[in-house]
Amino acid sequence: MTTGATEPSAVVVSPPLTDPRTGAVRPRASLPVISNGVVLREIRHHDAQVLLRGLQGSPLPLGTTPLTSLATLEHFIAWAHQERAAGRAVCYVLLPKVGSDPVGVLLARRVERGFVIAEWGMRLAAGCVADRVVVPAVTAVLDLLFREFSTRRLETRIDASAASEIGLLERLGGQRECRLHGSTLDLWALNRERWMEAHPVSAGFWAPDPSPSAVPVAYAPVWTTASAVAAWRQPLPDLHGSRACVRELVLEDAPSLYEHLSSPAVTRHLPPPPNGVLGFERFVRWAQDRRSTGTTVCVGIAPDRARAAVGFEQLHPLDHLGERAEWGFALGEAFWGGGVFAEAAALLLDYAFDTLGVRRLEARVGADNARAAGALRKMGAQCDGRLGRVESGGGPAGHDELWSLRPEDWRAARPRIFGGGPRN
């Protein structure tokens, strides 16, 4: 039983931006400056005051979390630098000309390893002129992602009533795919093939940043603004049920994880698993490191307290407040259908909604992965729709389904698993 859980990938942005052997993004400490009639450079800490004045009342919050206070904006910038240093995101500010104040923010964050699939969004100051400012800026950044980051699919979320924003997406070649459960947002996507056909020549000029942000690769955690946000980097207490235990992974779990997660039935729906016991030991160390920085919760699933882990669950925050997160899981075939996964998932869902403050969980499941879809449905998740999918390495295109789960959905479904039993 699996969803799109991923193995560790220590990556940082750098031209040439991707490794053709692995798809990983190569190291560099800054992003290139882009010129395309307008100027785009990496967001910096001193941009916060100017952006706050300009973004209040912004008419185009395309897919990004609202930035309504100086503290929220400063936290967002620190988070964006952290994500860039780890190779998971790029964040640009838009300047109408060299030396002018920034008038907008454009963020792109990977969904899958190596930016093969990424999501993007922007916020612009009121009064930005679409034809003169917005279209050249967006075109240049998307072109950078498709050409240099080897991105094959870009997604964004937009309110279904936002006619001007929808017009921009249509002009860029985007296609609406589905309505997100419990919201007025639609998911739109652009694919590389259509983009390259429409833009045979590179849009904009890329140059090294003459004043790069001083962000070390060994970044410091930024989850310090609220208790729920800080909880992303706190150790998980052992969570116990009658059939399963959810706990932090330890190195001693590596042999068992290798034994149970390397069978074809499990790997069929996953990226390539870690190689051997040593590979799973590296995976455990990666999980521990990511937890300390608040960028992933990765916990083991054990059938009881005395046993080694036979699977794992992951939560990845998808925004700077951790209110939207991605959920992935993998469990050894020998434990399918016995109630171990259902209880392990229930324990982690309680933790995600009650402690981490998650408001929307998402999971991407292959359209042919009926077992994982059934498990998600039992948890109360809803299938938002079928998405276009592009395989890494140029393989044949398939489809993912996007599933979502909100706290109220989980509260309604929880009695089917735990009844009225106590929470950990």
Tens of pLDDT along the chain (424 residues) come to 666 654 432 222 233 344 433 444 443 456 888 888 889 999 999 999 988 887 765 544 555 666 778 888 888 888 888 888 888 889 999 998 888 899 889 999 988 777 889 999 888 877 666 667 888 888 999 999 999 888 999 999 998 998 888 998 999 999 999 999 988 999 999 999 999 999 888 877 788 777 776 554 334 444 444 555 678 888 888 998 888 999 999 999 999 999 999 999 888 877 778 889 999 999 999 999 888 888 889 999 999 877 899 999 999 988 888 889 999 999 999 999 888 999 999 999 999 999 999 999 999 998 888 889 999 999 999 999 998 766 554 444 568 899 999 999 999 999 887 665 545 5
Structural domain contains residue 403: yes
Asked whether residue 231 falls in the same domain as residue 354, the answer is yes
Among 175, 207, 239, identify where a domain stops: 207
**Segments forming the whole domain that contains residue 357:** 227-418
Locate tokens 């220590």: which residue?
Answer: 10
Asked whether residue 395 falls in the same domain as residue 298, the answer is yes
Structural domain contains residue 98: yes
Asked whether residue 324 falls in the same domain as residue 411, the answer is yes
Asked whether residue 199 falls in the same domain as residue 237, the answer is no
Locate tokens 């833009």: which residue?
Answer: 199
Structural domain contains residue 65: yes
* Residue 54 CB-density burial (10 A; 0-12 exposed, 13-18 middle, 19+ buried): buried
Asked whether residue 287 falls in the same domain as residue 162, the answer is no
Asked whether residue 241 falls in the same domain as residue 376, the answer is yes
Asked whether residue 46 falls in the same domain as residue 181, the answer is yes
Asked whether residue 202 falls in the same domain as residue 233, the answer is no
Asked whether residue 377 falls in the same domain as residue 273, the answer is yes
Structural domain contains residue 9: no
Asked whether residue 53 falls in the same domain as residue 86, the answer is yes
Can you give the CATH number for the domain in which 181 is found? Answer: 3.40.630.30
Phi and psi dihedrals of 192, rounded to 5? -65, -40
Asked whether residue 175 falls in the same domain as residue 243, the answer is no
Element (H, E) at 286: helix 276-292
Structural domain contains residue 5: no
Vertex 98, ends 84 and 100: CA angle to 5°? 90
Asked whether residue 367 falls in the same domain as residue 314, the answer is yes
> Into how many domains does the chain fold?
2
Angle between helices 163-172 and 135-148 (to 10 degrees): 40
Structural domain contains residue 256: yes
Locate tokens 């800080």: which residue?
Answer: 230
Structural domain contains residue 2: no
Structural domain contains residue 266: yes
Locate tokens 């996953």: which residue?
Answer: 270
Among 207, 242, 262, identify where a domain stops: 207
Q: What is the DSSP letter of 307?
A: S
Contact by Cβ (8 Å): 107, 52: no
Among 143, 175, 207, identify where a domain stops: 207
